[in-house]
Structure 1
Amino acid sequence: MNTGDQNYVKWFRNAAPYINAHRGKTVVLMFGGEAVSHPNFANIIHDISLLRSLGVKLVVVHGARPQIENSIKQRGIKRNIENNVRVTDAETLVAVKDATGSLRLHIEALLSTGLANSPMHGSQIRVSTGNFVIAKPMGVREGIDYKYTGSVRRIDSDGINMQLDYGSIVLLSPIGYSPTGEVFNLALEDVATQTAIALKADKLIALTDDEGLIDQSGKLIRSCSVRTVKTLLDEKDCHVRQLLLRSIIQCGENGVERCHCVSYQSDTALLQELFTRDGAGTLIAKDHKEELSTATIDDVAGILELIQPLEEEGVLVKRSRELLEVEIDRFTVLKKEDVIIACVALYPYAEANTGEIACVVIHPDYRKGNRGERLMAAVEENAKKQGFDSVFVLTTVSGHWFLEQGFTEQPIEKLPEGKKQMYNFQRKSKIYVKNLR
C-alpha cells in the first residue's frame, strides 16, 4: 500500500466517530445564490449527496438574491430597496418566482445526477419540495408598504419530518405561501432559521464566502459561543452578514445545539468541518447557563472545596492552598450561578511540546450531561493555542473515560523528561496521551 492509500485509510478511521455521531441527526444547510453560481458548487452537491448516504437528515435551504437581481434587470423593472429590504410589487414578484423557480429546478437536477464515474453514481437521492413554508406579509412599516415581501409565519415541521423519514432531502426556496393562496418573497436566513428551530435541528450549517466567522482583527474564529457572536454584530456590517449573525443567534437561543459557518469556495470545507477534529470553519455552540472561564484567585476556595473529597479518597494528589494560588491561572472552571461545579488544569511541558491535563473534577450532582466533554474541549483548545502537539494525563481510576475521549494508553517512556522524573511508582498511575494535530 502506498503512502497516499495509507493516509486515506488513517483519515477514514479517524472520521468514523464523527460519521457515527452525525448519523440520524437533522441538519439544516443554508447557502445563498452566490454559492450556486460558484464553480465549486458541483463539489458541494456531491458532499450533500455523501452526507445523505451517511444517514444525515438534510434540509437544504437556498437563496436567490443575485439571480433575482438579474431577473429584475432583464425585465427592466425598477429596483426598490427600503431599509435593506426588497419591496416586492406584483411585477417584481413575477421576476422573483421566475428566478427562484429556475434555481430550485437547477439544484434538484444536480442532486438527481447519478452518472457512472461521478461521485454521485448510485446515490439515488430523492428530493422533496413543497409548500412547507407558510408566510405572512411584512405589511406597512414606517409608511412603506412592502407588498409581496413577507416573513415566515409557520413551518410545516410534520410534513418535512415525514419526508426526512422517507430518506428524502428536503429542498426549500426563499418563497412562502399564505392560507389565502398568495406567494411571498422571503429572506433565505428567515426560512433557514425558522426551519431549524421548528425541526429542533441538531445543526445549522451556513455556507458563506468567508472561511467562517471573522473577528475584528481579520482572523478566523475557530469556535465560539452564541454570546461571542452577539459581540460581532456591527451596524457597519453589510446587511447579509447581519442577517447571518442574527440567524445564528436566534437558532442558538432557541434550542439548536450547534451552528457552523464554512466557505462554499473550498471543495473540502464542508466535510472537513463535520468529520475532522479541527474542522475548517467556525463552530458556534449555544450558550449554557453554566459558564466556562479561566480561574482567578477568587476561585481558590471553590476549587479546594470541589477537590477535597477526591483528595481524601486518594484519587487526587493533595494540593495546598498556597500551591493552588500560585498555579491558579492553569485552571479552567465551570460555574453555575457563580458556584464552581467542575474544574480542570493544564500544565505545560514546552520542551516536549505537550501539556499535562490534571485535576479533572466534576461535582457528583452534575456528572450527568456533557460537562466532562466541555471541559476537555476547552482544555484541548487551550493546548492548541499554546502550540502543543499533544496532551497527556495520569490517572488511577478514570482510564476508560479518557479512552472514550480519544486518548490512548502509553508507557511511561512517552512522558516528557520532566514529568518522567516526578513519576510516583507507588501510585502506579496509568498514562494516556491524545494527539492534537
Structure 2
Amino acid sequence: MDTRFPFVDWFRNSSPYINAHRGRTFVILIEGEAMASGRGEQLIQDLALLHTLGVRLVVVFGIRPRVQQALDEAGIVPRRHRGRWVADEAIMAQVERIAAEQRLWLEARLSPGLPNTPLHGIEMTVVSGNLMMAKPLGVREGIDFDHSGEVRRVRAQAIEGLLERGSLVVLPPLGFSSTGEVFDLDAAEVARHAATALGADKLILLGEASGLFDRSGQLQRQLTPAEAEPPLQQADPSSELARHLGAACVAARHGVARTHLLSWHDHDALLGELFTRDGVGTMITEHRYEQLRLAELGDIGGLLELLEPLERRGMLVPRSRERLEYEIDDYLVIERDGMIIGCAALHTFGDAKMGELACVAVHDDYRGGARGELLLAEIERRARRLSLSALFALTTHTTHWFFEHGFRLADIEALPPLRRDTYNHARKSKILVKALT
C-alpha cells in the first residue's frame, strides 16, 4: 500500500466526522496558559479550519496568567478565597485591560488572508460584546468579593443570531450587570453557561491536563457525570482540574451532549479529538459512547464490514447479507460512535436445550479491551434466560480463548442433531461445550 502521504488515509477516515460536525455548535475554552505559552497561533489555525468546515464556534478565553504577571509587575498581591481572588478596583483595571488586549489579539489573528498563510482565503467575522450578564459574588464567609462575579444570564438569542449569520463569537471572562458594572468571571463557568444556554453539541475545555487517568495511569476515554464525581470530590477545589471537571459534569447533566477535557500542550489535541474515532482526551457524557446492544437491520452493513476480514482469513464461515438479515435477532453488537466494532450470535436449539455461540468477532483495532468477554457474558445471560443448559462453539483458530472461558473439547455427538447434520467436516472445526449452571 502506498504510504507516501499518510495524512490522506486520515483525511478519508475523518470524512464521517466532517459531515457530523457541520452545522453543530461547539463552545471551546482556551485557558490563559495556552495563550501565554505561544500556543495561540496554532489553535487559531485549528479554529479557522473548524469554521471553514461549517462548525458554529463560540470561543471563550482565559487571561489568568497575564493578569497575574501584570499584578506582580505592579506589586499588587490579590486576596484569595476558595480559588477566586477579590477583584478590587486595582485588580479590575488589569483584568479589563488584558481582556481587551487578548480579544483584540484574537480578532487580529483571525483576520489575515495573506497568501502563504494558513488563513489565506478564509473570511471570518469575529464578534464579541455584552453577551454574558453577571452578578456579584457578594459577601461570602465574611469576605466581600467586590467585582468578582458569577454568570447571571447568557444572551443566548443574541449569540444564536450571530452564529446563524456565520460569525465566530468570542467571549472574554467578563460579565456585565444591568447597572453598568463589569465583573471578573471564571472562564470555565463562562464556557459552561454558554454551552448549556445554547444547547451546544460539544463543550471543549483546553487546559493543562490531557484528561482523567485511573490509578494505573491509563487515560479514561469516557465517563458519565456520576463516574466523574469521585475524582471531582478528590481534586483541589481551586485547581483547574476541579473547575473543568465540575463544568463538564454540570454541562452533561444539562443537555450538552459531549464535553471534552483536552491538553493544549498536545498540538494535535483539538483536531485529534474531533476527527478520530477514539479521540485523545476524556469525554464526559450522559450518553454511552460505546454500548453493547441487540443488533438491528440497520447494522447489517457494519456487520459485513466487521466480518469480511475475518472471513477472508478463514477464521469465520462467510455469511451473506441475506443470512445476516434472517438471523439478525440472534446477534448482539458493540457499537462505538456509530461503528460496529464487535458482535456475537446465539443460535438456539430448543429441543436439545443448547445454544450455539457463533460469530464472535472484535475489530482488530479494539482487541485487548475485554470486549470478547463482555459479549460472551451477555450471550450466557441470554442463554440462561432461555433456560438453555449448555453452550457450544465451533472454531478453527481460537480454541484456547474458549478454554480460558470454561469451554471443553467435545466430539460431534455432543452437538444437537440438527447442528450435527450441518457440521462442515472439511473445515475440521474444534467442538467446544460449556455447561451453564
Aligned counterpart in structure 2 of residue 358 of structure 1, from 340, 344, 347: 344
- Aligned counterparts of 1:254 and 1:219: Cα–Cα separation in 2: 28
Partner of 2:327: 315
User: One-letter code of the match for 2:169?
Assistant: V
Match of 1:152 in 2: 151
SS of 2:327's equivalent in the other structure is: coil
Counterparts of 2:395 and 2:163, CA distance in 1:
51
Q: Give how far 1:224 is off.
A: 1.9
What's the offset of the Cα at 1:127?
0.5
CA distance in 2, matches of 1:78, 1:257: 40
Match of 2:40 in 1: 41
Match of 1:386 among 369, 373, 378: 369
Flag as ranges the 4+ runs of structure 1 deviating above 6 A: 291-294, 379-382, 422-427
CA distance in 1, matches of 2:86, 2:51: 37
User: C-alpha separation between the residues in 1 aligned to 2:235 and 2:271?
Assistant: 32
**Given the alignment of the two structures, is residue 205 of structure 1 paired with residue 204 of structure 2, yes or no?**
yes
Mapped to 1, the partners of 2:36 and 2:210 lie a distance apart of 18
Aligned residues: 336
1:292 CA drift (Å): 6.5
| Per-residue deviation, 1:33 | 0.5
What does 1:195-344 correspond to in 2, within 5 Å?
195-237=194-236, 238-286=238-286, 315=327, 344=333
The verdict on how the C-alpha distance between 1:68 and 1:9 changes in structure 2, with shifts beyond 3 A counting, is same
Q: Where in structure 1 are there 5+ consecutive unaligned residues?
A: 295-312, 319-341, 347-354, 362-378, 393-414, 428-437
1:91: which partner in 2? 90
Question: Counterparts of 1:171 and 1:259 in 2: how far apart (Å)?
Answer: 19
Cα displacement (A) at 1:217: 3.6
Structure 2 distance, partners of 1:277, 1:38, is 29
The change in CA–CA distance for 1:71 and 1:231 in structure 2 (over 3 A counts) is same
Unaligned runs of 5+ in 2: 294-324, 336-340, 348-361, 376-393, 400-414, 424-437
Give per-residue Cα distances to partners, 1:2-51, cap 9 Å, x unaligned. 6223x332222111111000000000000211011223321111000000
**Aligned residues of 1:227 and 1:287 also touching (Cα < 8 A):** no
TM-score (norm 2): 0.69
| Cα-to-partner distance string for 1:197-250 (whole Å, 9 max, x where unaligned) | 000000000112222222344332122222221121144535221111110010
CA, structure 1 residues 83+55, in 2 after alignment: closer, same or farther (shift >3 Å)? same
1:193 is displaced (CA, Å) by 0.6
Q: Which has the larger displacement, 261-270 or 234-243? A: 234-243
Q: Aligned partners of 1:31 and 1:184: how far apart in 2?
A: 20
Q: TM (normalized to structure 1)? A: 0.69
39 and 388 in structure 1: CA distance in 2 versus 1, 3 angstrom threshold: farther
Give, as a single letter, the amino acid of the residue that structure 2 aligns with 1:315.
E
Closer, same or farther: CA 89–17 of 1 in aligned 2, 3 Å: same
CA contact (8 A) 2:209 2:241 kept: no
Q: Which amino acid aligns with 1:262?
A: L
Residue type of the partner of 1:61? V
Contact 2:342 2:371 in 1 (8 A): no
* Structure number with larger C-alpha Rg: 2
Distance change (3 Å), C-alpha of 1:292 and 1:2: closer
- Distance verdict in 2 for CA 1:235–1:285, change over 3 Å: closer
Where does residue 170 of structure 1 map in the other structure?
A: 169
**Letter aligned with residue 94 of structure 2:** A
Q: Which residue of 2 aligns with 1:56?
A: 55
> Sequence identity, in percent?
38
For the 8 Å contact 1:71–1:96, the answer to whether it is kept is no
SS of 1:176's equivalent? strand
Q: Name the residue aligned to 1:332.
A: none
DSSP-derived class of the 1:4 partner: coil
Q: Could you tell me whether the CA contact under 8 Å between 1:28 and 1:204 is conserved in 2? A: yes
Tell me if structure 2 keeps the 8 A contact 1:259–1:285: yes
1:406-421 mapped onto 2 (5 Å cutoff): 417-418=396-397
Please give the per-residue CA displacement for 1:32-80, whole angstroms capped at 9, x wherever unaligned. 1101122332111100000000000000001111111112222222321
After superposition, the Cα gap between the structure-2 partners of 1:161 and 1:140, relative to the gap in structure 1 and judged at 3 Å, is same
Match of 1:396 in 2: none
Q: CA RMSD in A?
A: 3.7
Map 1:50-199; keep pairs closer than 5 Å: 50-199=49-198
**CA spacing shift, 1:281–1:345, aligned 2, 3 Å:** closer
| Higher mean displacement: 59-68 or 278-287 | 278-287
Q: Work out the CA distance in 1 between the residues paired with 2:246 and 2:86.
A: 21
CA shift, 1:386, in A, is 3.2
Distance 1:113 1:345 in 2: 46
User: Per the alignment, do residues 315 and 135 of structure 1 end up closer, same or farther by CA in structure 2, a change over 3 Å counting?
Assistant: same
How far 1:381 sits from its partner (Å)? 11
Alpha-carbon deviation of 1:419? 8.0
Q: Distance in 1 between matches of 2:370 and 2:150?
A: 46
State the partner residue of 1:304. Answer: none
Q: 1:307-335: per-residue Cα shift (whole Å, max 9, x none)? A: xxxxxx972698xxxxxxxxxxxxxxxxx
Task: Give, in angstroms, the shift of residue 356 of structure 1.
Answer: 5.7
Distance in 1 (alpha carbons) for counterparts of 2:143 and 2:334: 57
**Residues 343, 144 of structure 1: alpha-carbon distance in 2 compared, 3 angstrom cutoff:** farther
Question: Where does residue 29 of structure 1 map in the other structure?
Answer: 28
1:125 deviation in Å?
A: 1.2
